[in-house]
Chains A and B, each alone.
Chain A
Amino acid sequence: MSKSNKIIIKADNVKKKFGDFYALKGVSMEVHEGEVVVILGPSGSGKSTFIRTINQLEKHDDGKIIVDGTELNDDIKNLETIRSNVGMVFQQFNLFPHLTVKRNIALAPQKVKGISQDEAESIAMPLLERVGIPEQADKFPAQLSGGQQQRVAIARALAMQPKIMLFDEPTSALDPEMIKEVLDVMKELAASGMTMIVVTHEMGFAREAADRFYFFDEGLLVEEGTPEHFFTNPKEDRTKLFLSQIL
């Protein structure tokens, strides 16, 4: 919420096709440093595809994406460096099941940044405290509840000290009673000034934490604005219909 004027992500007319099917038909978006952006839209509208182009888990076919001053294209040499500046949290957690919680968090800093194992593990503990589960450090992911796993996943992404965090429906796979503990961590993160793009249907969280809303439908960005705007007078019919369904 501590927004600066610096544009940290710029997407310009981004297109992505799978076979003949366009999942993104030209999406443009600017995200300022420190901004918290929520992406809404029906299933299959291209929300995941869009945020996955930002760390190039999906290569876009057309258009331009600039992340923190570097354009993402085929010439890019150090994709890994860009990726380590952009943390991602998945719907299915995707923790590494063969590693303990602590190792899950310490692995990437150790291997990507080349620091020692001890040093990397000393990063892990404060992060686990930040997400509220320091006592789980030596357990394996399968021994944790869904909410705890997702909090570990957030800690794991934060361990790379990213400038941007992407969340793809982080609470959709959780039992209702565990959603809050994850959202609380995300709210704290938002308040700390992290730039965040969040795909979510949790309108309570969105209203409280978001600076801007973007509504996607059929691979297009249909409407954007402040949370106020969306809750009081959305313009497009498709937006209205969608909001009436989820609110």
Chain B
Amino acid sequence: MNSFIVRSNSWLIKNLFSSKLNILLSFCAMSLTIYFVWSLSIFVFISADWKVVDVNLRLLLLGPFPKEAEWRIWISIFWVAFMSGITYKNISRFQTKHLFNISPLILFILFLINPVNNIMITFLLALSLVCLFIGYNLPANRIFKLNQNTLNILGWAITLPLIVVFLKIFGGVETTKWGGYFLNIMLAWVGIIFGFIFGLIFAIGRASSLPVVRYSCTFYIEVIRAAPLVAWLFFAYLVIPDLLPDIFANKVDIALRVMIVLSAFTAAYIAEIIRGGLQSVAIGQIEASKALGMNGYQTTSLIVLPQAIRAVIPALVSQFIALWKDTTLILAAGLAFRELLGSGKSALAQFEFIGQYNEIYMFIGLLFWIVSFGMSRLSFSIEKDLGLNQEG
């Protein structure tokens, strides 16, 4: 304890008070921080009236999603929690077992505070925690006789299709009824996965030795990047139905169109990011691989791409985070959806809550921040695992 104090003292002196200027800057920064945290706390705990969030919680999280179909979302959450448990064990380098050992305690507290005043939801939240716990403790790789990495990749690869099945099976929910935070998550998820897959394809295509392939990929990338996302969303909403023959026009689901636009848009940017990564791989790597007798496909997939993608993980994650926040633009394009931000505006239009911007936007901000921060942490931990990052 004593030595800790000494150490932290010297840390303080070295990092914050080493010169007059540093003392001044530290003082200003601390005052600002304290002021900010103080006024925020006052607002959050005293002056804010969270009733607007409480009453509209369902609207914010799910939009017009039918109540009787909520189980579909819960099953999806259970699965994601289960997969997270499996993966967490694998990617975490730190001994975090204790976190899971106190999970009964967390469950108990959860029931005690009953956060959303609804014992059923609390129970389901607890069940998700249990799924996480099971995933973490299950020797899944031994059960399925797969190595841990393959298991993770396979597991997450089937997650999205599985969720779509959960949502659609036995007369599921129309996509026009998707909404709120859930809609943002689905759109971003689809956009990230397909944006990445097609981005990869376009990046490789742009580096191809076949001129036709190369020029078409370049053309695609340049065209997509020439217009803002909002314009492409308009295009999906208004132009595509006019272009399609009448029989198809109403068949192509609007949500599907939005997902295609988000994926196609993201793919162009991802392609350029990955192209940068491809250029950073030394030519000697390709020569060494070829000299060993590996063919073009093996060289690209085993030698070049792993190094290229590693080099651009930070840029990729920035792009994913940008896409995550861009999912709110489907509102700006006037689509028939109410995602989180749109739901927030609906809530604010309710007579009794008029003017409660702060509460609503703070809550929405928090929800967006959670996912953005999670992605940024995930990228740090991946980089750390690959030995690329020393800080963070």
Interface status of B300 (Cβ within 8 A of chain A): no
- Cα A100 to Cα B292 with chains together (Å): 17
Which residues of A from 86 to 120 have beta carbons under 8 Å from B?
A: 86-88, 90, 92, 94-98, 107-108, 111-112
CB distance from A7 to the nearest CB of B (A): 22
Selecting from B39-47, B117-125, B283-291, the interface stretch reads: B283-291
**Residue of B284, B288, B290, B295 ringed by the most chain A CB atoms within 10 A:** B288
Interface status of A140 (Cβ within 8 A of chain B): yes
Residues B284 and A156 in contact, CB atoms below 8 Å apart? no
Residues A94 and B292 in contact, CB atoms below 8 Å apart? no
Residues A57 and B287 in contact, CB atoms below 8 Å apart? yes
The chain A residue sitting closest to B285, CB to CB, is A94
Selecting from A32-40, A63-71, A77-85, A194-202, the interface stretch reads: A77-85
- Cα A191 to Cα B303 with chains together (Å): 33
Interface status of B26 (Cβ within 8 A of chain A): no
Residues B292 and A84 in contact, CB atoms below 8 Å apart? yes
Interface size range on A against B: 20 to 34
Interface status of B293 (Cβ within 8 A of chain A): yes
Interface status of B294 (Cβ within 8 A of chain A): yes
Residues B288 and A80 in contact, CB atoms below 8 Å apart? no
Find B291's partner among A87, A95, A111 (CB 8 Å cutoff).
Answer: A87
Q: A55 with B302: in contact, given A90-B284, A96-B285, A97-B307 (CB under 8 Å)?
A: no
Set of chain A residues within 8 Å of B387, measured between Cβ atoms: 140
Residues B302 and A81 in contact, CB atoms below 8 Å apart? no
Set of chain A residues within 8 Å of B374, measured between Cβ atoms: none
Residues B307 and A98 in contact, CB atoms below 8 Å apart? yes
**Residue of A80, A81, A84 ringed by the most chain B CB atoms within 10 A:** A80
Find A83's partner among B291, B307, B310, B386 (CB 8 Å cutoff).
Answer: B291
CB distance from B288 to the nearest CB of A (A): 4
A-B interface contact total, Cβ < 8 Å: 61
Interface status of B66 (Cβ within 8 A of chain A): no
Set of chain A residues within 8 Å of B310, measured between Cβ atoms: 98
- Cα A156 to Cα B303 with chains together (Å): 14
Set of chain B residues within 8 Å of A23, measured between Cβ atoms: none
Interface status of B31 (Cβ within 8 A of chain A): no
Binary interface profile of B, 299-332, with partner A (CB < 8 Å = 1, else 0)?
0001100110010000000000000000000000
**Residue of A55, A81, A88, A97 ringed by the most chain B CB atoms within 10 A:** A97
Interface status of A160 (Cβ within 8 A of chain B): yes
- Cα A98 to Cα B302 with chains together (Å): 10
Q: A84 with B293: in contact, given A107-B302, A111-B298, A140-B387 (CB under 8 Å)?
A: yes
Set of chain B residues within 8 Å of A88, measured between Cβ atoms: 288, 291
Q: A80 with B285: in contact, given A98-B306, A107-B302, A111-B298 (CB under 8 Å)?
A: no
Residues A108 and B306 in contact, CB atoms below 8 Å apart? no
- Cα A87 to Cα B294 with chains together (Å): 12
Interface status of A183 (Cβ within 8 A of chain B): no
**Residue of B290, B293, B298, B306 ringed by the most chain A CB atoms within 10 A:** B293
Interface status of A9 (Cβ within 8 A of chain B): no
Set of chain B residues within 8 Å of A55, measured between Cβ atoms: 291
Residues B292 and A160 in contact, CB atoms below 8 Å apart? yes
- Cα A142 to Cα B31 with chains together (Å): 45
The chain B residue sitting closest to A85, CB to CB, is B293
Which residues of A from 152 to 196 have beta carbons under 8 Å from B?
A: 153, 156-157, 160
Set of chain A residues within 8 Å of B303, measured between Cβ atoms: 96
Set of chain B residues within 8 Å of A157, measured between Cβ atoms: 291-292
- Cα A239 to Cα B212 with chains together (Å): 50
The chain A residue sitting closest to B310, CB to CB, is A98
Q: A94 with B287: in contact, given A107-B302, A111-B298 (CB under 8 Å)?
A: yes
The chain B residue sitting closest to A57, CB to CB, is B287
**Residue of A57, A86, A98 ringed by the most chain B CB atoms within 10 A:** A98
Q: A90 with B290: in contact, given A97-B307, A98-B306, A111-B298 (CB under 8 Å)?
A: no
- Cα A112 to Cα B289 with chains together (Å): 11
A-B contact pairs, 27 of them (CB 8 A): A57-B287, A81-B293, A83-B290, A83-B292, A83-B293, A85-B293, A86-B291, A87-B292, A94-B282, A94-B285, A94-B288, A95-B288, A96-B285, A96-B303, A97-B307, A98-B307, A107-B292, A107-B294, A107-B302, A108-B292, A108-B293, A111-B294, A111-B298, A111-B302, A112-B298, A157-B292, A160-B292
The 9 closest A-B pairs by CB, nearest first: A84-B293, A94-B288, A108-B292, A88-B291, A94-B284, A83-B293, A112-B293, A80-B293, A98-B306
Interface set of B (CB-CB < 8 Å, partner A): 282, 284-285, 287-295, 298, 302-303, 306-307, 310, 386-387
Interface set of A (CB-CB < 8 Å, partner B): 55, 57, 80-81, 83-88, 90, 92, 94-98, 107-108, 111-112, 140, 153, 156-157, 160
Known pairs A55-B291, A90-B287, A96-B303. 16 more at Cβ < 8 A?
A57-B290, A81-B293, A83-B290, A86-B291, A87-B292, A88-B291, A90-B288, A96-B307, A98-B306, A98-B307, A107-B302, A108-B292, A108-B294, A111-B294, A153-B288, A156-B292
